């Protein structure tokens, strides 16, 4: 299983609802971090430079295959928005197909009209183990989503021994944060515009 799979599973169990767009951006960031860790890509500034073969995961293979192989390379920000489009729905479908998710009316996590909960499988236990161990990358991505108020900021640092390029991971997590904030700003702007439009029709 990958960091993106683990992130999706953890999002099911936490207290706060997670927007599909926010989760999709975070999943794209998780994929990029795994590709960096596998040596399949490297960062040159904010550009993603293809490297060796990706791990044998379907989603990571698709992600790596979509990268430009020559200059100009794709920027991290552009990757998040392109790769993240509908990515949470794709992970949901794959996890349901693998028997990792099941419908549940009482679940806190809902995509559209369907509520879901994780099945107790080895994959879920692995994700929970990473989360309870405060694994830095997973913890940082969850913190970006703001779906667990109980973790303090100092628990989301990436200076632990992760076996990854800490500077590169920090750049990716920061880009995910910026993209999530940008998406939230768009939502707020639309809410204000819709309210103004409704008031215009209601009149004085």
Tokens of 184: 């939230």
Give the C-alpha separation, 61 to 6, whole Å: 17
Give the C-alpha separation, 54 to 38, whole Å: 7
pTM: 0.83
Lowest mean pLDDT among 11-20, 47-56, 168-177, 186-195: 186-195
- Mean pLDDT confidence for 148-155: 43
**Between residues 65 and 193, the one the model is more confident about:** 65
Report the pLDDT value the prediction gives residue 95, as an integer from 0 to 100. Answer: 92
Domains in the chain: how many in total? 1
Does the pLDDT value for residue 158 go beyond 90?
A: no
Cross-strand bridge partners of residue 50 = 41
Question: pLDDT by residue (tens digit) across 67-91?
Answer: 999 999 999 999 999 999 999 999 9
Report the pLDDT value the prediction gives residue 27, as an integer from 0 to 100. Answer: 97
Q: Of 102, 79, 100, 66, whose CA–CA distance to 24 is shortest?
A: 79
Structural domain harbouring 67: 3-202
Run of H or E including 102 = strand 101-103
| Number of other residues whose CB lies within 10 A of the CB of residue 93 | 11
Report the pLDDT value the prediction gives residue 92, as an integer from 0 to 100. Answer: 92
Query: DSSP for 103-137?
Result: E-TT-SEEETTEEEEE---HHHHHHHHHHHTT-HH
| Tokens 């020559």 sit on residue | 70
Give the C-alpha separation, 29 to 21, whole Å: 13
């Amino acid at each position: 299983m990958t960091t993106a799979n683990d992130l999706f599973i953890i999002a099911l169990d936490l207290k706060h609802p997670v927007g599909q767009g926010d989760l999709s951006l975070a999943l794209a960031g998780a994929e990029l971090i795994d590709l960096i860790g596998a040596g399949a890509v490297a960062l040159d500034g904010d550009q993603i430079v293809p490297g060796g073969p990706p791990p044998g995961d379907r989603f990571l293979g698709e992600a790596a295959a979509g990268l430009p192989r020559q200059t100009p390379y794709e920027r991290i920000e552009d990757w998040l928005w392109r790769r993240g489009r509908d990515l949470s729905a794709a992970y949901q479908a794959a996890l349901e197909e693998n028997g990792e998710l099941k419908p549940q009316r009482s679940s806190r996590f809902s995509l559209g009209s369907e509520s879901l909960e994780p099945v107790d499988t080895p994959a879920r236990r692995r994700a929970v183990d990473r989360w309870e161990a405060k694994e830095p990358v997973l913890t940082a991505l969850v913190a970006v989503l703001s779906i667990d108020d109980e973790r303090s900021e100092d628990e989301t640092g990436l200076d632990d021994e992760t076996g990854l390029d800490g500077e590169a991971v920090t750049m990716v997590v920061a880009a995910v944060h910026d993209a999530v904030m940008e998406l939230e700003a768009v939502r707020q702007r639309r809410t204000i515009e819709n309210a103004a439009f409704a008031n215009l029709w209601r009149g004085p």
